[in-house]
């Protein structure tokens, strides 16, 4: 979705709004960008023309508003809290990242703010990302009629009915709009840089795991570096990420920066009951003063991550150390390839657990995931309080070189949400504090990864001309389609590898590439593609999966249904790229009858000739693979002639031009005694790539 940028006409300054027109911004790790190399760096031959602006507006509550923790009025303001806005434009589209120094976001309130931003600036509501820091020393946003758990009703409704709260909610809306308008007016041409620092010694996963695999939430650890009773540390992302948009002036100055460290801002709470942004506040002020521009803090997936020490002196020390490390990392920052600004907003339905259904009077919550990409950078936004494991899985599966995953964004979702299986471990977060079913975390992850894959594929295709997209047709039966069990490594995408789906649309290539059967899994094609993409040319590789399990050669010769289907897929893909080779693995279904096995070479040679001719591909390389040698040494009752098929395959070498056979020696089999296991398929795919490279041009 793209919205015309009307430009950055100057607007008058607004009261209580602070903006810095000449500073740069390390954007929150906006986890969603893409940039792929073709020859030198990326399919985008140069940075896109990006401009950004940033501003802030104070949203501190009056001291008559009740603190949501104890329902007493705030005794004062330790440090002010702000709404900050970062507006990004590529000249055609704009998006805005809004950060609040508040406890949460709510779907209803977010919808209201998005509507007002669109009305005031023309930036589409779907292009607005709103993130809360989750400081416990500032209010929650108004619920705006959103359903609440019984515990939330007791905590929040009394605050909402208290003095001054509705007026303060209106102030948050107005000041957010002002910050966005000021940021939009302050846009300047920039380039993007990123830096990372380690902060693992400052934070703690409060869900250590006992010997029985259960969790007992430890809100404030006595000894954060030494767990009692042989407990295991929970997962953690110790990364402090700093994004910065710098002006092209010499020396460059930040127009805006955005930093993120997944960690609850609860250093002060409950030791000091005044209003405060907690530890992110002083860090924002320091980075803005040191680097220039406005500095935003965006909260990550911090549902189970807390500071190791808590009180006001601990807050000050933590802020100082984070600032020190951010500035040190910034001194060795790297430049990020930027591209077209893209935004994907994915509605999700999150099923409620029994308590949630009872308290809220409904079966599910309507929420969303969101992704923003800008070349090699992507930002993912999740609702509620995600545990850090969700962040780690999304980063692992993201096709972008740089992915920043945020929680506490665009709504409350089902509150605390973790990976599948986490509910059975127990602990505060997976009990009364979360209203969703155990699968809600995976729903969010899959939606986010799907959005990232679509954005990346769009970027690659937009930046790649047909002579730069190398196509490979994958045909045959189940060992080409793949039946290997999926493992984490198979879901980790290559940044320059695409797959052409049966619906004639491209996506980022991850296994299973084929969807011919319900048990499709790891195949050799994906690992062939990775090897080719890593071969040094930095070109984009496009795979065309067309294999179908359990099929004989007779269906693959000219006139056969699968021949015609593969031809149709290849021709459609070739409108956007150049076919470089055909990969073939088939023969198990022809190894049961003497007539089929003995005629295999003749029939295959005819198919190769016809396929090359019908594709107009000349003597394009054709790479075949042996049947598993385990079928020769230990034949199944239905594959007694596997050796004959392999001999027939080998007999075409030297007779069919630009034809090669890949050895299956030492490759191993699944318990079904016919399909290669996952490790062997990865190796087999790399052998196919080596055979192609060895073929003379």
pLDDT score recorded for residue 463 = 82
Q: Is residue 104 located within the same domain as residue 240?
A: yes
Domain housing 371: 21-447
> Does 48 map to a domain?
yes
Q: Is residue 70 located within the same domain as residue 192?
A: yes
Residues 6+ apart with CB under 8 A from 174: none
* Beta strands per DSSP E along 602-679: 622-625, 659-662
Q: Which of 421, 447, 473 is the endpoint of a domain?
A: 447
Say yes or no to pLDDT of 48 above 80. no
Say yes or no to pLDDT of 15 above 50. no
| Mean pLDDT along residues 638-647 | 97
> Does 512 map to a domain?
yes
Judging by beta carbons within 10 Å of its beta carbon (0-12, 13-18, 19+), is residue 76 exposed, middle or buried?
A: exposed
What the block records as the tokens of 595 is 């007539």
pTM: 0.88
Chain segment 561-587, per-residue pLDDT in tens: 999 999 999 999 999 999 999 999 999
pLDDT score recorded for residue 454 = 94
DSSP alpha helix (H) spans, 426-516: 440-463, 478-481
CA distance 244 to 24: 6
Q: What φ, ψ does residue 219 adopt, rounded to 5°?
A: -65, -40
CA distance 460 to 299: 29
Helix (H) or strand (E) holding 358: helix 354-360
Q: Can you say whether the dihedral through the CA atoms of 157, 159, 164, 170 is positive or negative?
A: negative
Say yes or no to pLDDT of 141 above 60. yes
Q: Is residue 507 located within the same domain as residue 557?
A: yes
> Does 14 map to a domain?
no
Own/partner contacts of 419-428, CB < 8 Å, gap of 24 or more, are 419/387, 419/389, 419/390, 419/393, 419/445, 422/387, 422/389, 425/207, 425/209, 425/213, 425/214, 425/215, 426/214, 426/215, 426/216, 427/207, 427/214, 427/215, 427/216, 427/217, 428/217, 428/219
* Cβ atoms of residues 403 and 435 within 8 Å: no
Q: Is residue 437 located within the same domain as residue 497?
A: no
Q: Which of 447, 477, 512 is the endpoint of a domain?
A: 447
> Does 220 map to a domain?
yes
| Mean pLDDT along residues 233-241 | 95
pLDDT score recorded for residue 46 = 52
Q: Is residue 480 located within the same domain as residue 384?
A: no
Q: Is residue 518 located within the same domain as residue 370?
A: no
CA distance 644 to 647: 5
> Does 374 map to a domain?
yes
Q: Can you say whether the dihedral through the CA atoms of 343, 349, 354, 356 is positive or negative?
A: positive
**How many residues are there in the chain?**
697
Residue linked to tokens 């380039």: 191
* Cβ atoms of residues 445 and 301 within 8 Å: no
* Cβ atoms of residues 347 and 261 within 8 Å: no
Q: Is residue 488 located within the same domain as residue 525?
A: yes
Q: Is residue 381 located within the same domain as residue 497?
A: no
Q: Which of 447, 479, 509 is the endpoint of a domain?
A: 447
pLDDT score recorded for residue 95 = 99
> Does 11 map to a domain?
no
Q: Is residue 571 located within the same domain as residue 688?
A: yes
Residues 6+ apart with CB under 8 A from 141: 100, 102, 103, 104, 105, 106, 109, 132, 169, 172
Q: Is residue 401 located within the same domain as residue 472?
A: no
Chain segment 653-678, per-residue pLDDT in tens: 999 999 999 999 999 999 999 999 99
Residue linked to tokens 């302050």: 186
Chain segment 165-222, per-residue pLDDT in tens: 999 999 999 999 999 999 999 999 999 999 999 999 999 999 989 999 999 888 877 7
pLDDT score recorded for residue 5 = 37
Q: Is residue 175 located within the same domain as residue 27?
A: yes
Please tell me whether residue 259 adopts helix, strand or coil conformation.
strand
| Mean pLDDT along residues 514-532 | 93
Q: How many CB atoms lie within 10 A of CB 595?
A: 8
Q: What φ, ψ does residue 668 adopt, rounded to 5°?
A: -115, 170
CATH number at 578 reads: 3.40.50.1110
Residues 6+ apart with CB under 8 A from 446: none
| Mean pLDDT along residues 499-527 | 93
* Cβ atoms of residues 589 and 597 within 8 Å: no
How far separated are the first and last CA of the chain, in Å rounded? 43
Nearest to 160 by CA among 140, 181, 183, 132: 140
> Does 460 map to a domain?
no
pLDDT score recorded for residue 651 = 98
Show the CA angle centred on residue 311, arms to residues 197 and 307, nearest 5°: 35
pLDDT score recorded for residue 26 = 34
Say yes or no to pLDDT of 693 above 50. yes
Average pLDDT, the chain: 90
Tally of domains in the chain: 2
> Does 8 map to a domain?
no
Nearest to 291 by CA among 339, 334, 340, 243: 243
Q: Is residue 190 located within the same domain as residue 322?
A: yes
| Mean pLDDT along residues 95-101 | 99
What band does 2 get if pLDDT is binned at 50, 70 and 90? Answer: very low
Chain segment 293-322, per-residue pLDDT in tens: 999 999 999 999 999 998 899 999 999 999
What band does 697 get if pLDDT is binned at 50, 70 and 90? Answer: low
CA torsion, points 485, 487, 492, 497, in degrees to nearest 10?
-20
pLDDT score recorded for residue 186 = 97
Say yes or no to pLDDT of 155 above 90. no
| Mean pLDDT along residues 529-537 | 88
């Amino acid at each position: 979705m793209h919205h015309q940028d009307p430009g950055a006409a100057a607007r008058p300054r607004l009261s209580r709004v602070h903006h810095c027109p000449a500073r740069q911004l390390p954007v929150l790790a906006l986890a969603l960008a893409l940039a792929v190399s073709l020859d030198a760096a990326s399919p985008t031959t140069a940075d896109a023309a990006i401009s950004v602006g940033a501003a802030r507006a104070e949203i501190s509550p009056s001291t008559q508003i009740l603190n949501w923790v104890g329902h007493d009025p705030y005794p004062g303001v330790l440090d002010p809290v702000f709404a900050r806005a970062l507006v990004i434009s590529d000249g055609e589209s704009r998006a805005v990242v809004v950060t609040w120094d508040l406890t949460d976001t709510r779907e209803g309130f977010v919808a209201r703010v998005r509507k007002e931003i669109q009305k005031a600036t023309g930036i589409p509501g779907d292009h607005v990302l709103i993130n809360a820091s989750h400081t416990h020393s500032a209010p929650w946003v108004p619920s705006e009629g959103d359903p609440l758990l019984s515990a939330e009703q007791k905590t929040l409704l009394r605050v909402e009915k208290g003095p001054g709260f509705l007026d303060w909610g209106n102030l948050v809306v107005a000041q957010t709009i002002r910050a966005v308008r000021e940021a939009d007016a302050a846009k300047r041409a920039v380039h993007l840089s990123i830096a990372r620092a380690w902060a693992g010694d400052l934070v703690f996963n409060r869900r250590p795991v006992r010997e029985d695999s259960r969790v007992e939430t430890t809100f404030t650890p006595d000894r954060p570096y030494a767990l009692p009773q042989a407990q295991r540390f929970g997962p953690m992302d110790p990364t402090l990420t700093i994004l910065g948009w710098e002006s092209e002036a010499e020396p460059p100055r930040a127009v805006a920066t955005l930093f993120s460290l997944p960690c609850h801002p609860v250093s002060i709470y409950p030791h000091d009951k005044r209003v405060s942004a907690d530890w992110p506040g002083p860090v924002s002020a320091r980075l803005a003063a040191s680097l220039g521009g406005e500095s935003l803090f965006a909260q990550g997936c911090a549902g189970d991550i807390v500071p190791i020490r808590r009180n006001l002196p601990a807050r000050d020390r933590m802020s100082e150390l984070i600032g020190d490390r951010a500035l040190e990392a910034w001194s060795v920052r790297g430049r990020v390839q930027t591209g077209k600004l893209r935004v994907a907003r994915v509605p999700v339905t999150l099923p409620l657990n029994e308590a949630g259904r009872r308290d809220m009077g409904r079966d599910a919550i309507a929420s969303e995931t969101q992704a923003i990409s800008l070349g090699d950078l992507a930002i993912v936004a999740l609702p509620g309080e995600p545990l850090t494991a969700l962040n780690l899985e999304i980063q692992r599966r993201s096709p972008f070189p740089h992915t920043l995953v945020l929680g506490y964004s665009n709504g409350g979702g089902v509150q605390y949400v973790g990976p599948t299986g986490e509910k059975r471990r127990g602990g505060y977060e997976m009990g009364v504090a979360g209203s969703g079913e155990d699968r809600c975390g995976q729903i969010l992850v899959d939606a986010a990864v799907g959005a990232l894959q679509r954005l990346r594929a769009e970027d690659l295709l937009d930046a790649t001309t047909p002579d730069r997209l190398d196509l490979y047709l994958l045909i045959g039966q189940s060992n080409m389609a793949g039946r290997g069990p999926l493992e984490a490594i198979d879901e980790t995408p290559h940044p320059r590898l695409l797959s052409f789906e049966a619906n004639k649309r491209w996506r980022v290539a991850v296994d299973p590439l084929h969807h011919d059967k319900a048990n499709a899994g790891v195949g050799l094609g994906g690992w062939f593609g990775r090897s080719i993409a890593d071969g040094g040319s930095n070109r984009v590789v496009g795979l065309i999966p067309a294999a179908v399990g359990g099929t004989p050669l007779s269906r693959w010769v000219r006139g056969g249904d699968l021949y015609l289907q593969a031809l149709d897929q290849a021709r459609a893909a070739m409108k956007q790229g150049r076919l470089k080779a055909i990969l073939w693995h088939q023969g198990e279904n022809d190894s049961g009858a003497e007539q089929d096995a003995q005629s295999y070479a003749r029939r295959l040679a005819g198919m190769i000739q016809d396929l090359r001719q019908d594709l107009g591909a000349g003597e394009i390389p054709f790479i075949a693979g042996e049947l598993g040698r385990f079928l020769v040494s230990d034949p199944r009752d239905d594959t007694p002639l596997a050796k004959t098929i392999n001999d027939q395959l080998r007999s075409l070498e030297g007779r069919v031009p630009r034809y090669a056979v890949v050895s299956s020696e030492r490759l191993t089999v699944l318990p079904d005694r016919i399909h290669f296991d996952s490790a062997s398929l990865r190796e087999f795919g790399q052998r196919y790539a080596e055979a192609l490279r060895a073929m003379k041009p």
